[in-house]
Structure 1
């Protein structure tokens, strides 16, 4: 059974596809940078908490328990960093491909985003296991946004592909060839 993705003519029903794809690319780069900064800050805060807990241990949470929880957080944060660094790189490819109207770049972005979608689903599971349901909701929302973005970028890719294809047939106006009159 084949499932075909829908094809849009406009992004968000009002913006031309090229502008929509560029907006998606720039916004995704901004959000990736913000997420990388937030995750880096969170790693710093967890490290500081673990160091402070070693110096002044809490009787409710022994240092071994704190280190075990911190290890789970470090693994989650490392996966976050990996996913969003890859996301940053492929969004740069998207912007270059959209500006230069290169369908190969957009096809690469589509395939890479399909991989990112799979990674985001794994990230949902990892986040749910280590951080709980509430922390999973933003990642789940991001996963669904990736699906919509893939459809929009694929639509623009198909528009560029259609522009580059030669028409299968081309009707030419009939212009009779002038012939010299026959002399008998």
Structure 2
């Protein structure tokens, strides 16, 4: 995963990345569930209102106007619910991935969050063009927060990637042993007249 983003060693200069990513996951999950509840409550009130006023001549609207407005509001509510459900899914992937050290799930969170950030930026530009800066400020603020979340979680992903690299030791002689992460394919001494050191996989903990 190659992204032009900074890599953090701590979140907010003092919080370990693993704890910070779990806070991000649980916080975002709670917010998404709360918003789903609010949207479902609003949808229930909308359905109740339409049912009570669809044949009410005193409401100030015709039956066709009420039905047309209701359809648009139904679609908007359903889209909001789908977005928040998707947010719940990717945040649960982040939580499971960090708890059980599943790098692939953490990578899925980073990728999908980047897609959401791009879509949010496009929506923010449209709102700014048609409705002005004040209407676009909430999306701008949330976009900055989401971008910071992505940087933190990506740093966790890179740490997991580093830990999964096999440890390789170089034996130069019987008294010298150097260990480190393998960064390139091993070379055979038969490919050149220069004597390369021999390589082998090694358990770092056994060196202690």
Coarse TM-score class (shorter-chain normalised): 0.7 to 0.9
Q: How does 1:133-152 map to 2 (within 5 A)?
A: 138-152=138-152
Give the corresponding residue for 2:83.
Answer: 83
Matched, 1:12 2:12: yes
Q: How does 1:69-80 map to 2 (within 5 A)?
A: 69-80=69-80
More helix, by proportion: 1
Deviation for aligned residue 1:38: 0.7
Deviation for aligned residue 1:148: 1.8
Alpha-carbon distance in structure 1 between the residues aligned to 2:124 and 2:75: 14
Alpha-carbon distance in structure 2 between the residues aligned to 1:69 and 1:61: 10
Secondary structure of the residue aligned to 2:175 is coil
**1:109-165 residue CA offsets vs partner (Å, 9 max, x unmatched):** 11122233345456658989xx99877654554333222211110011111112222
The gaps in structure 1 that reach 5 residues or longer are 177-184
More strand, by proportion: 2
Deviation for aligned residue 1:28: 1.2
Secondary structure of the residue aligned to 1:15 is coil
Secondary structure of the residue aligned to 1:9 is coil
**1:75-107 residue CA offsets vs partner (Å, 9 max, x unmatched):** 111111111111111111111110112212111
Alpha-carbon distance in structure 2 between the residues aligned to 1:61 and 1:124: 32
Give the TM-score normalised by the residue count of structure 1.
Answer: 0.76
Deviation for aligned residue 1:55: 3.8
| Cα RMSD for the two superposed structures | 3.3
Give the TM-score normalised by the residue count of structure 2.
Answer: 0.69
The gaps in structure 2 that reach 5 residues or longer are 177-208
Alpha-carbon distance in structure 2 between the residues aligned to 1:126 and 1:47: 29
Give the corresponding residue for 1:53.
Answer: 53
